[in-house]
Amino acid sequence: MATKYLCANRGQCGKADSDAVIRVPHGRPTVCPECGGKLAPREGGQDLGQSLFVGTGVLMLLLLGVATFMSLPRSSECDTPGRWNPFNRACSTAQARACTPPETLDARTNTCQAPRASALAQAPDCKAPERLDPATRTCKAPATPPAAAAAATLLRFHGSNTIGGKLLPALAEAFMKEEGYTQVHREPGAKDDEEFIVGERGGAKRQIEIAAHGSKTAFADLRAGSADIGMASRPIKADERQALLPTLGDLSANASEHVLALDGIAVIVHPANPLKTLTLAQLADIFSGTVTDWSQVGGHPGAITVYARDHKSGTWDFFNEAVLMSRGKTLIGTAQRFEDSGRLAASVGSDPQGIGFIGLNYVGTNKVIALADTGVDARRPSLNTIRTEDYLLSRRLFLYTAQAPANASVLKFIEFALADAGQSVVSNTGLITVALPEPAAATDTERGEDPRAKSAKWRKLTAQATAEIATRFRFRPGTAELDTRAGRDIGRVAGLIAGGKFQDRSLILIGFTDTAGRHEENCRLSQERAEIVGHELTVEGLRVARVAGLCDEAPVASNDTPDGREKNRRVEVWVN
């Protein structure tokens, strides 16, 4: 490679005077070959070859850059979250910025931009619970939170509102705590008179389901398999028993029918109503509409308003059979019907002209009417008259189970409910326990008001006794077999006498019948039934001093109705 020069020795050198171009190879001395003078670089001093060399190099670099540019990925080839950079034609791995609404991300500059005024003006007006999505300017429903783990069902109770409204929820809570569950609480169901008792054990949630829509639903749901235990405020009917017999066994047997508590259907009026007593016949006339004014039954003038439970209720079934059907009457069509016992009681309490019937634990501040019947003086429901079932509208509250339940928790619950812990809950909810209190001597006043005192034989037998045990032994209809309550009461009486202050005393047993049939046969039956109870108590180690049958004397209810005759067929136990 050579560099161009000019000789600067003008006037002394021909090459300088002619401006001859002198080429000196790179690295040689820069002197004029003619005069030896100093050479000066010519402007644009590289020669053509050098220029070509440089130009070729530049061209090659340009071609290499184009090739590299074309080999770079296109924007559509960038993987999320990579973004295409149009300036260096490369995929960037930088994350997009997170903008705070209502600002939005400008993808070109990767910056947050406030919305234009026109966009804000066009934002839709969202209705709760929807929220505005600032990115799409649309209304969207709020995100659904993740569902909590569902609780597995431990037991399912369906049936009576009298049991399921207050008693069963309290029993279920106590049972779960007894079984070691913690954080036990109540949760509402999808409908009225439905709830769940929920608890945790071993990191798992369990629940007891309660649906209290009436005694009739107990047997329908047991048959359908949607209930484990049926709640009923009346005994199972013959057609219900027959329908369940093929699948669940005989639900009237001791293994399936469990008397949970005792109750009395109280007839209630407004506290300001001056009336104190009614006969069952008068009650039937009022609820059937035969009597429509309070003055017709000894009250102040005024139209009577009738309140009643709904047709699915066991309370209604019992009242209907004991008061209306037994006298050939039906409920007045204008009666106001209620599924919920509490609402019925509240309605009577706010109506001075109202009258209704309700389970004893729902009376509230209402006035309770004493009831009388043919040949029987008026009595109010009390602990003693309901426990002995001598009150005219006393009744039993039942739990029904399959004879061999598949759910192991069923029998666990039954034993808990009938034991002391469960019966304590029964007492706390205002119902009468099936547990027997220690016998107490009756006062002279109580003896004088007792309808049985009309029998001279009864007065003579009981005069020798110290106290009466508050129960009545009865039998399954048409048999010599003790019914479900009586079967358990044998053990209860034995425990009461053996462990109390009467442990050295003997017992007097008195049997009775109704007036149906021949008198001689009734006397034989009353003696025979008392002897059956005496035998069972003797097996338990108790001493029986006397067994007597008083035929059809000392009735506690009218013999004119099936329910009254059932009450009169009994065996009483007295401490000698």
Instruction: List the domains of the chain with CATH numbers.
Output: 2-59 (no CATH), 437-576 (3.30.1330.60)
pLDDT of 28 strictly over 60: yes
How much is the average pLDDT of 138-154? Answer: 73
pLDDT for the residue 115: 64
- Return the pLDDT at 425: 97
How far is 234 from 222, CA to CA, in rounded Å? 16
* Length of the chain in terms of residues written: 576
Phi, psi of 550 (to 5 degrees): -105, 25
pLDDT at 430: 84
Q: Which of 99-113, 176-190, 457-471 has the lowest mean pLDDT?
A: 99-113
Residues with Cβ within 8 Å of 136's Cβ and at least 6 positions away in sequence, in order, are none
On whether the CB atoms of residues 304 and 353 are closer than 8 A, the answer is yes
Q: CA-to-CA distance for 93 and 84, rounded, in angstroms? A: 9
- pLDDT score for 564: 86
Query: pLDDT tens, 411-442?
Result: 999 999 999 999 999 999 988 999 999 887 77
Rounded to an integer, the average pLDDT of 318-323 is 90
- Output the pLDDT for position 95: 54
Is 199's pLDDT higher than 50? yes
Q: What pTM was estimated for this model as a whole?
A: 0.68
Tokens representing 499 are 């462990």
Confidence at residue 65, expressed as pLDDT on a 0 to 100 scale = 54
pLDDT at 84 over 60: no
Q: Are 405 and 273 in contact (CB under 8 A)?
A: no
Residues 21/6, Cβ–Cβ less than 8 Å: yes
Q: Identify which has the larger pLDDT, 83 or 248.
A: 248
**CB-based contact 355:264 (threshold 8 Å):** no
Minimum mean pLDDT among 95-109, 379-393, 442-456: which range?
Answer: 95-109
* pLDDT attached to residue 44: 52
pLDDT at residue 75, as a whole number: 45
End-to-end CA separation in angstroms for the chain: 148
More confident residue, 423 or 40: 423
Give the per-residue pLDDT at 119: 46
Which of 214, 110, 172 has its CA nearest to residue 429? 172
Evaluate if residue 228 carries a pLDDT over 70: yes
DSSP 3-state of 357:
strand
Three-class DSSP category at 183:
strand
Which sign does the torsion angle of CA 24, 25, 31, 32 carry? negative
Calculate the average pLDDT of the chain: 85
Could you read off the pLDDT of 552-563 as tens digits, one per residue?
Answer: 999 999 998 888
Q: Which pair of tokens denotes residue 528?
A: 């025979």
- The beta strands (E) that lie in 302-419 are given as 305-309, 336-338, 354-359, 367-368, 370-373, 376-379, 394-400
What is the Cα–Cα distance from 160 to 399, expressed in whole angstroms?
Answer: 10
Give the per-residue pLDDT at 500: 75
The DSSP letter of residue 31 is B
How would residue 37 be classed by pLDDT, with cut points 50, 70 and 90? confident
Average pLDDT over every residue of 184-200 = 95
Question: How much of the chain exceeds pLDDT 70, in percent?
Answer: 84
Q: How far is CA 541 from the centre of its chain?
A: 45
Q: In whole angstroms, what is the distance from residue 229 CA to residue 510 CA?
A: 36
pLDDT of residue 267: 97
Question: CB–CB of 434/423 below 8 Å?
Answer: yes
pLDDT 10s digits, 239-283? 999 999 999 999 999 999 999 999 889 999 999 999 999 999 999
Q: Six-digit token pair at 254? A: 């001791």
- As a whole number of angstroms, the distance between CA 103 and CA 126 comes to 19
Mean pLDDT within 457-465: 90
**What's the pLDDT score for residue 27?**
65
Tell which residue, 426, 412, 431, 429, has the closest CA to residue 178. Answer: 412
| 3-state SS assignment for residue 433 | coil
DSSP 225: T
Helix (H, G, I), strand (E, B) or coil at 90: strand
More confident call, 493 vs 71: 493
Rounded to an integer, the average pLDDT of 45-55 is 46
Res 39: pLDDT: 76
Average pLDDT over residues 321-349: 94
Residue 147 reports pLDDT greater than 80: no
**What pLDDT is stored for residue 116 in this prediction?**
59
What pLDDT, on the 0 to 100 scale, is given for residue 51?
44
Beta-carbon contacts of residue 225 (< 8 Å; ≥ 6 apart): none
State residue 85's pLDDT score: 55
Q: Which of 142-156, 320-334, 404-418, 474-488 has the weakest average pLDDT?
A: 142-156
Element (H, E) at 495: helix 484-499
Alpha-helical segments (H) within 289-338: 314-319
Averaged pLDDT, 304-323:
92
CA–CA distance, 431 with 266 (Å, rounded to integer): 12
| DSSP, residue by residue, 300-311 | -S-B-EEEEE-T
